Chain A
Amino acid sequence: MQKIIKYVITDILRNKIMLAYTAFLLILSFSIFSLEDSPSKGLLSMLNIVLIIVPLMSIIFSTIYIYNSAEFIELLVSQPLRRKTIWLSLFAGLAGSLSIAFLAGAGIVVLIYEPSITGLMITVTGVFLSVIFSAIAMLAAVTTRDKAKGIGTAILLWLYFSLLFDGLVLFLLFQFSDYPMEKPMILVSLFNPIDLSRILILLKMDISAMMGYTGAIFKDFFGTGTGILISFIVLLLWIVLPVGLSVRKFNNKDL
């Protein structure tokens, strides 16, 4: 397994996109922190990068990479290797290099300028989002044989998680504005890893005071130790479930 991971990572490093991504994050985060007068304002801008660019990059790069490794996968499947090993190694290589790129490009800068619990929270959720979205990409790529369809699905999934889902939530809130929706909202937010990360980070910032009653309810749940534990378990589930499902599909796939 380690050997295959090694080959996957060397292959990813050989196509320079991952290095460009790291450099891009590095330049962006440095300029954000030097432009803003206080680091906590910089964190707010970093939040948007973590919540939008990281998932986009992870899901699209991973999907395209899986499709491009079709030959590599085919070569390995005829060898005495367990299919699960091949698939998990691909995932580990992808998720690992995406996380390292994020840590090197954004995580370290954040921790330098804002070595607080908020900075740590942004870094940790950024890594989680990198891994979660490559897990979702694995599932999208194994489900469809057609490359264009698979990449299209990946982009739509990203759109859904970063834009459409919020729209749906707002719609729900308006429709049920006569009812107390704060508690159900906590449950709903668990269904979107981006929303969950946003809430986790925002609650560690001062601006959470401005979110009113909903903010208070959220703080009641996500602010406590159990709340944070549950959120991270849910984030873990967002990794385990797509990967587990994709392994099952890959095991029965005809190559």
Chain B
Amino acid sequence: MIIATNVTKKFGRLKALDNVSVTCNKGECIALVGPNGSGKTTLIKSILGMVVPDSGFITFNGNNILHHWKYRAQIGYMPQIGRYPDNMTIGQVLDMMKDIRQDSPTFDEDLIHTFDLQPLYKKRMRTLSGGTRQKVSACISFLFNPDVLILDEPTAGLDPVASEQLKEKIILEKKKGKLVMITSHVLSDLDELVTQVIYMQDGVLRFHKPIEEIRTDTGEQKLARAIAHYMQHS
């Protein structure tokens, strides 16, 4: 579904992505893990076209994303730090997104109800706490029923209840055969979700393996321990 081929991106001298090639298919749930500054967010932003790679190319359903901007209709993106126009209210932001996205016939508002956001509709974005902001980002990413979900640190800043609710929603969407990509440092959150793991370090893709293979390789059941095993032995 998403194929990145030899993607390289430099920020000044720093190589954020170094010749990264990756293939993601429908129905997979991929964990993107790696230390801080390993290029996870840059890879995600390149897939979304927010960062333009220096070389290499990315295709979505066989079309090069450079010329086909419409593919983004099929991606729900939850950014690491959701940034919204300060003087708009939650309600206005959600209405604006719906208004702009006329391509989507139905809206999936489940998360708005589970997070109980409606009473907060009149609150301005700048007054929101980090967690509420994160909830708004999550709602927007699921709102248009996308085939692909790209979640950058979805549970960071969420309280345990909301975090569980979001996880349940992700599992539900995964069962519908959608492609889910998650980055997280809270690896215990990923245990019950992921089917594949991509490990990145210094902008290089170290490995891309199914989780069963990782478990047999390292002899660890928990993802956190398995990744720690790789980090120590690399």
Q: Which residues of A contact B (CB under 8 A)?
A: 3-4, 7, 11, 14-15, 69-72, 74-83, 252-255
Contact = CB atoms under 8 A, between A and B. Distances in A.
Nearest to B74: A80
Interface string B62-93: 00000001111101010100011111100001
Nearest to A253: B52
B109 to A, nearest CB: 18
B49 interface: yes
A7 B96 contact: yes
B97 interface: yes
B69 A82 contact: yes
Interface residues of B, number: 28
A77 B11 CA distance: 20
Contact of B85 (A3, A11, A78, A255): A11
Contacts of A69: 85
21 contacts: A7-B96, A14-B87, A70-B83, A72-B84, A72-B85, A74-B50, A74-B79, A75-B83, A75-B84, A77-B49, A78-B50, A78-B72, A78-B77, A78-B79, A79-B72, A80-B69, A80-B70, A83-B69, A254-B50, A255-B45, A255-B50
Contact of B51 (A3, A15, A79, A255): A255
A75 B87 CA distance: 14
Contacts of B52: 252-254
Nearest to A252: B52
B182 to A, nearest CB: 16
A80 B79 CA distance: 16
A248 to B, nearest CB: 12
B99 interface: yes
A69 B85 CA distance: 7
Given A254-B51, A254-B52, A80 B72 contact: yes
B204 interface: no
Interface string B42-58: 00010011111000000
B100 A71 contact: no
A52 B103 CA distance: 45
Contacts of A4: 100
A79 B101 contact: yes
Given A75-B97, A254-B52, 17 more contacts: A4-B100, A11-B87, A11-B88, A69-B85, A72-B84, A74-B50, A74-B79, A75-B84, A75-B85, A76-B100, A78-B50, A79-B72, A79-B100, A80-B73, A80-B101, A82-B69, A254-B50
Interface centre among A72, A78, A255 (most CB of B within 10 A): A78
A200 B101 CA distance: 45
A77 B50 contact: yes
B60 to A, nearest CB: 11
A28 B43 CA distance: 54
In the A-B complex, list the 6 residue pairs whose CB atoms are closest, starting with the nearest. A80-B73, A71-B83, A80-B72, A254-B51, A78-B77, A255-B50
Nearest to B77: A78
Contacts of B77: 78
A74 B72 CA distance: 14
Nearest to A14: B87
